[in-house]
Structure 1
């Protein structure tokens, strides 16, 4: 599968840079005004340049890199004039603020570069620039930034407010699981207050498992454990772990009215609970997102690679495959009995296979599994 970074020219002469796994469909959505954000009111748009990459991280890295380029440098890219790009990079100066064409000012420097400058989702300032590596897609964004997953969100306004909370603290990857009112949602843009980059990159999935399939660490935010025994941490503790651990992390947030269901929490490996007034424990969706995002942002400058070179944990999709294989073997062996206890037993199996410490009950469950897999000895005559 290929991923594409692309550059558009808008009707007002400004430039827009984005990325997608379906270039034709994404450009069509821009031209139709179906994407809330920067290009919606600057149509018609024209595709000037695109390049394919083997991974989403490389395409995203190229997008972030090109967004920091001056107008002249973008135009050199369109012409394929690499000598001009190198020359402009040597003469680049830092910006103190976003240009007049900016939809959502933010620092999108490639990780490890010196200097800082506000970078816009649409570039109209011909004199502004930021020093960049000349390679397209040669740098990747930090792998430590967690993915925010909103599970069955109900209101477009709340999705927009959550996106605003994310971008305030440097998070840009939003995934939506079965949003009630569909996606895109016209109510999300105004509520995002300029966090268009988050909404435009938002991906939609049918299930929680699909949304976190590429993540090695999955956290569920909930005030109650809901019958699922897992490690429970505060947002600050989760942020420290995310910064130190290899692999991608995802943080699940439930629908506004009811929060995460038990089966949603069961997918996660760790629960995040916010210490809160026991007499009034009501947080709205954006408040919950901003608490977690803020704690993650505090450790950004202090993050360091793991102390030892160890293999990263398996992605969630591999763990799900192992559990499904074991489930099939147990089913064939007649382990799930009586039938009315089968859902509870399966949930217990998933819980014990996705947590580091086992309780006595879980140990007994494993021993029951092993016993059911041992062939029955024939009785002597």
Structure 2
């Protein structure tokens, strides 16, 4: 939904686990990760020794308005320092590290982190370098491994994409899956009396327009037309609109017929063409 959902009048979601990017190589990827964080209610960003230094103007560009996350980002020299004040850390990786640690998907990890945060614990999500990911030693500092069901032949994700997928699972849980908007309230459903009146109206005008060319097929045609409208689940407003459409079609046809008859009469009597009245369309 690019460019379709930014509203500065609404409150900014805060909280969630800390996102820790370990030696990110490109400012663009830091910005993309910050944008994904903003999308899914993650507000705390920590950077471990970013390759291009910090701050980075490219990160601001790719954050697309998530500036507050970048402005509040914390800088650390290594992973140990970045996680020292946290109680629970999950390391993201697509590779089997053969470690005796819990291995969870993003949805299960979101549930575990939610419980820990509710208990007052500090939690973090550890993301590795774009090219090599996390080193085994860094994974060993975590309490659990977070991985995703990806194609094993092509498991490497873009850094911002990885943050977005995991952030989505977090925010879906934290918001209880609430969507940002709902369809507007509909007009009450039409009752059978409303439908029958419309059927009478449309069938009467179809008869006048010689729609039913075959008397033998007329009953089945009428049934088919009624079944079409029965399947739709029409509201009272829908019925009113359909009545208006039929009236407009009939009046338009009759108006054209009257104008054509008047023109023919004028031609027959060689009467001069009168000036068109204001608002009257051409014949």
Structure 2 Cα separation of the partners of residues 216 and 282 of structure 1: 28
Q: 1:262-273 counterparts in 2 under 5 A? A: 262-273=136-147
> Could you say which structure has the higher helix fraction?
2
The question of whether the paired residues in 1 share the 8 Å contact of 2:106 and 2:147 is answered with yes
User: What is the root-mean-square deviation in Å for CA atoms of aligned residues?
Assistant: 1.9
Please, which runs of 5 or more residues in structure 1 have no aligned partner? 1-95, 100-105, 110-140, 304-381
The change in CA–CA distance for 1:97 and 1:148 in structure 2 (over 3 A counts) is closer
Q: For residue 107 of structure 1, give the secondary structure of its aligned residue in structure 2.
A: coil
Which residue of structure 1 lines up, in the alignment, with residue 8 of structure 2? 98
Which residue of structure 1 lines up, in the alignment, with residue 106 of structure 2? 235
Structure 1 Cα separation of the partners of residues 7 and 106 of structure 2: 31
- TM-score (norm: length of structure 2): 0.57
The structural deviation recorded for 1:227 is: 3.8
1:107 aligns with 2:17: no
Instruction: Give CA deviations for 1:158-199 in whole Å, capped at 9, x if unaligned.
Output: 000000000000111000001111100111110111110110
**Match for residue 163 of structure 2 among 275, 289, 307:** 289
The structural deviation recorded for 1:229 is: 2.5
1:249 aligns with 2:123: yes
The question of whether the paired residues in 2 share the 8 Å contact of 1:156 and 1:185 is answered with yes
- Largest Rg, 1 or 2: 2
Q: For residue 108 of structure 2, give the secondary structure of its aligned residue in structure 1.
A: helix
The question of whether the paired residues in 2 share the 8 Å contact of 1:227 and 1:262 is answered with no
Which residue of structure 2 lines up, in the alignment, with residue 67 of structure 1? none
Q: For residue 175 of structure 2, give the secondary structure of its aligned residue in structure 1.
A: helix
Which residue of structure 2 lines up, in the alignment, with residue 210 of structure 1? 81
Q: For residue 46 of structure 2, give the secondary structure of its aligned residue in structure 1.
A: strand
Please, which runs of 5 or more residues in structure 2 have no aligned partner? 1-5, 178-283
Structure 2 Cα separation of the partners of residues 172 and 244 of structure 1: 18
Structure 2 Cα separation of the partners of residues 148 and 286 of structure 1: 11
Whose RCO is larger (CA < 8 A, sep 6+)? Answer: 2
**Match for residue 147 of structure 1 among 18, 30, 37:** 18
Q: For residue 283 of structure 1, give the secondary structure of its aligned residue in structure 2.
A: coil
Which 4+ runs in 1 deviate beyond 4 A?
Answer: none
The change in CA–CA distance for 1:97 and 1:176 in structure 2 (over 3 A counts) is closer
> Could you say which structure has the higher strand fraction?
1
1:195 aligns with 2:195: no
Structure 2 Cα separation of the partners of residues 243 and 230 of structure 1: 19
- TM-score (norm: length of structure 1): 0.43
The structural deviation recorded for 1:97 is: 4.7
Which residue of structure 2 lines up, in the alignment, with residue 38 of structure 1? none
Q: 1:10-89 counterparts in 2 under 5 A? A: none
1:280 aligns with 2:184: no
The structural deviation recorded for 1:302 is: 4.5
The question of whether the paired residues in 1 share the 8 Å contact of 2:23 and 2:50 is answered with yes
The structural deviation recorded for 1:270 is: 0.1
Instruction: Give CA deviations for 1:77-132 in whole Å, capped at 9, x if unaligned.
Output: xxxxxxxxxxxxxxxxxxx9536xxxxxx5237xxxxxxxxxxxxxxxxxxxxxxx
Structure 1 Cα separation of the partners of residues 97 and 30 of structure 2: 25
The structural deviation recorded for 1:301 is: 3.2
The question of whether the paired residues in 1 share the 8 Å contact of 2:22 and 2:47 is answered with yes
Structure 2 Cα separation of the partners of residues 98 and 259 of structure 1: 35
The structural deviation recorded for 1:282 is: 2.4
